[in-house]
Amino acid sequence: MDERIVTRKATKEPVAAPVLLAASEAPAIRTEALHFATDGPEEFWDLTEFVRDVVARSKVSHGQITVYTPHTTTSIVINESETGFLNDFRKVIAGMVPVDTYYEHDDHELRTENLQEDEYVNGHAHCRQLLVGQTSVTVPIVDGEVILGQWQRVLFVELDQARKRRVFFHAQGI
């Protein structure tokens, strides 16, 4: 390899061990949780291989797998994992929903709902989540394989700040 060429990669891959939450053989169902910590905003974590591993462990031949994040400032999306695109996305979302502007969500003189003692200033992250995507995606499983397009990857998107996060994987079928 030419030493001048630097491999760029805009995604991270979790290295944590999954936690089995539930499993059955008939019907084939498996639910696992993945716990990890993000390092900062606008991070993309590629969960595709983990999704495939959960499906293999589930022994689902025909069915579906749902990938779900229970956090309101993260998203699960299916898109290309290409560094240039992901960097472009970071610029676009920063321009559309800047961090350094007023958000009523962050105004604790005005806000009275869902407050906690160590409340983050993250109105921008909540707005970004609504624009970016959803809290879950469901992908078909056919003949034991996850059906994704050639360049499609299942990505977890951190839209807030470095935090402890969880993602749930639920495979079901026959």
pLDDT tens, position by position, 51-79: 999 999 999 999 999 999 999 999 999 99
List the CATH code of the domain at 13-173. Answer: 2.60.120.460
Q: Residue 6's pLDDT band (boundaries 50, 70, 90)?
A: low
pLDDT tens, position by position, 143-157: 999 999 999 999 999
pLDDT tens, position by position, 107-135: 877 877 776 777 788 888 999 999 988 99
> Is pLDDT of 163 > 90?
yes
DSSP line for the chain: --TT------EE---SPPEEEEEETTTEEEEEEEEEE--STTEEEE-HHHHHHHHHHHT-SSEEEEEE---TTEEEEEEE--HHHHHHHHHHHHHHS-SSS--GGG-TTT--SS--TT----HHHHHHHHHH-BSEEEEEEETTEE---TTEEEEEEE-SSS-EEEEEEEEEE-
Average pLDDT, the chain: 91
Are 77 and 157 in contact by the 8 Å Cβ rule? The answer is yes
How high is the pLDDT of residue 16?
87
Q: Residue 87's pLDDT band (boundaries 50, 70, 90)?
A: very high
Domain boundaries, the chain: 13-173
> Is pLDDT of 3 > 80?
no
